[in-house]
Amino acid sequence: PVTTVLVVVNILVFAYGILGNTQNTIISQYGFVPNGLFKDGYLEDSIVRLFTSMFIHAGIAHIAFNLFALAYMGGFAERSIGKPKFIAIYLLAGLGGALFHGVIASFLLGNGNSVLIGASGAISGILGISAALGDIRGYYWLAIQVLYVFIGSVASLSIAFAAHVGGFITGLVITKFLIEVERRKRNPYK
């Protein structure tokens, strides 16, 4: 149910922007701009944009790829760790992905004025959940994304691969932490 709600919310935000002919305005007002946080000091505005940017997509291909991945992997992750943890990791991975991308964009690549939008970091966190639970394919996916970070930085691709990596690492680390907490609850003497 949570995965379905996330898919529907993303579709509704996208449809609102497209049907209302306000998509560009939504992107410019609610997308995350790394330099706004890291260099210009717009803390409150940047915090809002970190959250809202997770639900904005640039076009039909962008939203289709993201929501396909969410629908494909979300159900497994949601059933495996439960709804509250799933929602928390989804949102934290989205934030982690955006912040990781932002640091790289602002301090390494010098393109921190570019707007970041999309659910890729959050969805990558869902793949991190799967990897933490033992699905080795998640690590293969991470290796490919790391490779794309380097290719994308050289080729000037407009895909924020660093957000994918940051989201995956966030989801993986939080899930491993939760697994360890649960293990200690069940067997406090180990």
| Secondary structure string (H, E, C) spanning the chain | CHHHHHHHHHHHHHHHHHHCCCHHHHHHHHCECHHHHHCCCCHHHHHHHHHHHHHCCCCHHHHHHHHHHHHHHHHHHHHHHCHHHHHHHHHHHHHHHHHHHHHHHHHHHCCCCCCECCCHHHHHHHHHHHHHCCCCHHHHHHHHHHHHHHHHHHHCCCCCHHHHHHHHHHHHHHHHHHHHHHHHHHCCCC
* Token pair 């709804």: residue: 83
Distance CA 8, CA 10 (A): 5
Please give the model's pTM, rounded to 2 decimal places.
0.89
Distance CA 148, CA 144 (A): 6
Would you state the pLDDT for residue 184? 87
Share of the chain above pLDDT 70, in %: 95
Tokens at 164, concatenated: 């994918």
Closest to 118 in 3D by CA, of 171, 60, 56:
56
CA atoms within 13 A on the CB side of 17: 20
Would you state the pLDDT for residue 82? 94
* Token pair 């970041």: residue: 116
Low-confidence stretches of the chain (pLDDT < 50) are none
